[in-house]
Amino acid sequence: MTAPSTGRQVIRIDGTRPPSAGLVAAVTAACERVEDRGTPTRVVVEASGAPDGEWTRGLTPGLVGKWERALRRLERLPAATVAVATGDCGGTALDALLAADHRVVSPDTRLVLPVAAGAPWPGMALYRLVREGGGTGAVRRAILFGAPLEAADALALHLVHAVSDDLPGALEAADGLAGRVPGAELAIRRQLMLDASSVGFEEALGAHLAACDRALRQTDAGTAP
């Protein structure tokens, strides 16, 4: 589920398959390789497929929790994460797509919350859809009724950041964008961004001042990128 690539750590997610111990181990191992690297890298998540039928058979709350924690680790990596998706994207593929910093999809992509027990799956993809797409009608229909989100709608809601027929070219462009900021600095700014919607000004001020102090010290030391 992972593959090496020059300057990239590639993670391939098959959304037709449910979370598994093997998938958790693969994503965790990829995260460990990124965290242990001494040189900058970028993570590319290749996601496609959506589950159907009795896809939750054998799933346990413990395994779901481990999968969500692996995604959270991916989301907090000291590296830029870029996801590319094609076709229907649901289940584990949708989870991984929404955890990435920059998301590129093909025009035929649909974001799909899989159904379990007759209703859309209430995993953390639901949380990320609302956090980034708000309570819009399209997001509400997806969460409450399982209506797919077409690529154009996902782009308008900023759930994805580019729709392209040329995914390799779009990935190269994303590499250029992601390569501007060192991984550790990107991780700091990502966390400040994620906290902004839930943390009050006074509470957030200390973290922002600490980040500013870090940037000033790097500038004074001549280590700024």
Environment class of 211 (CB within 10 Å of its CB; exposed 0-12, middle 13-18, buried 19+): middle
| pLDDT given at position 99 | 95
Q: Residue 224 gets which letter from DSSP? A: -
**pLDDT tens sequence for the chain (225 residues):** 554 444 678 999 999 999 999 999 999 999 998 888 755 578 999 999 999 988 999 899 999 999 999 999 999 999 889 999 999 999 999 999 999 999 999 999 999 999 998 999 999 999 999 988 887 899 999 999 999 999 999 999 999 999 999 988 888 887 777 666 777 788 888 888 878 878 888 888 888 888 888 888 877 777 555
Whole-model pTM? 0.86
The dotted CATH code for 7-179 is: 3.90.226.10
* CA–CA dist 139, 142 (Å, integer): 5
Crossing angle for the helix pair 21-36 and 61-75, nearest 10 degrees?
A: 20
Per-residue model confidence (pLDDT) at position 35: 87
Residue 83's SS3 state is: strand
Q: What is the pLDDT of residue 39?
A: 56
Tokens of 212: 């500013």
Distances in whole angstroms, Cα of residue 15 to Cα of each of 36, 48, 184, 215: 28, 6, 29, 40
Q: Angle at which helices 137-145 and 124-133 pack, to 10 degrees?
A: 170
User: First vs last Cα of the chain: how many Å apart?
Assistant: 32
Q: What's the confidence (pLDDT) of residue 22?
A: 96
Domain borders along the chain are 7-179, 183-222
Residue 52, helix vs strand vs coil: coil
**106, HSE (Cβ side, Cα atoms, 13 Å):** 15
